[in-house]
Amino acid sequence: MNKKVQLQDLGNKDYKETWDYQEQLFKQIVDAKIQNRNANSQLPTPNFFLFVEHPHVYTLGKSGDMSNLLLSEKQLEAKGATFYKINRGGDITYHGPGQIVGYPILDLENFFTDIHKYLRLLEEAIILTLAEYNIIGARSEGETGVWLGVGTPFARKICAMGVRASRWVTMHGFALNVNADLGYFDNIIPCGIKGKAVTSMHVELGKHVDENEVKEKILRHFQDLFEAVIFTS
């Protein structure tokens, strides 16, 4: 089992270009697994972890409802935003500047074959990271992602998650609001959940947050939880 994970920080990159790149890496892993099976071999399969920040974009998961996007095509253009229907789970969400997006593209057979556990560990990595800033993150039953104020009238989402998995290979991932402009969430019903707010680390702490520092903390917790070894090429 190969627990090495190659880290790539893509900086600010167009959503569609990043999605295409994810698909390339995903296919690379799947093809290696098929080759192993056909040749009855056990050559190691690679794992990747992408960090990226996207220009303003709305994405709708395969089970999502178009009515949760509250903008017309012209209004999207006016806001400088794009829209894509994509192949992850979940409903609609927003990505933009000031948000840390993480895409682990892993062969889970290198770690464990349990999608539920995979999602819970991703959530845990974010919860542990937030705790370092004295922000108490939690899970909300039946709602993937990380929330604040669960069980109160002030429940608010700080990190959205949506993944795709096939042949135990993952893609897509999480989006943590660090310094994001939350006004863009007013144009959707986030994750298709009505009546719940969205927040960011910046709003909760009342100050700008160092995004590189947050990334380092996320990676450290991810590495511990997955018993992985992060490396850069």
93 vs 30, 139, 169, CA distance in Å? Answer: 27, 18, 22
Q: Which residues contact 145 (CB under 8 A, 6 or more apart)?
A: 123, 157, 159, 160, 161, 174, 191
137 annotated as belonging to a binding site for a ligand: no
Is 164 annotated as ligand-binding?
A: no
The first and second tokens of residue 106, run together, are 């892993």
SS3 content of the chain, % helix, strand, coil (to 5): 35, 30, 35
| Residue whose tokens read 């990334």 | 215
173 belongs to an annotated ligand binding site: yes
Query: Which residue among the candidates 50, 86, 119, 191 is catalytic per the annotation?
Result: 191
159 is catalytic: no
Residue 96 marked as a ligand binder: no
Known binding residue 88? Answer is yes
15 belongs to an annotated ligand binding site: no
Six token digits for residue 158: 């700080």
Q: Is residue 139 marked as binding?
A: no
Judge whether 162 is annotated as a binding position: yes
In whole angstroms, give the CA distance from residue 15 to residue 148. 27
Residue 32, both tokens:
């290696």
Q: Is 83 annotated in some ligand binding site?
A: no
Annotated binding residues, written as ranges, equal: 88-95, 160-162, 173-175
Annotated binding residues for substrate, written as ranges, equal: 88-95, 160-162, 173-175
Which residues are annotated as catalytic? 191
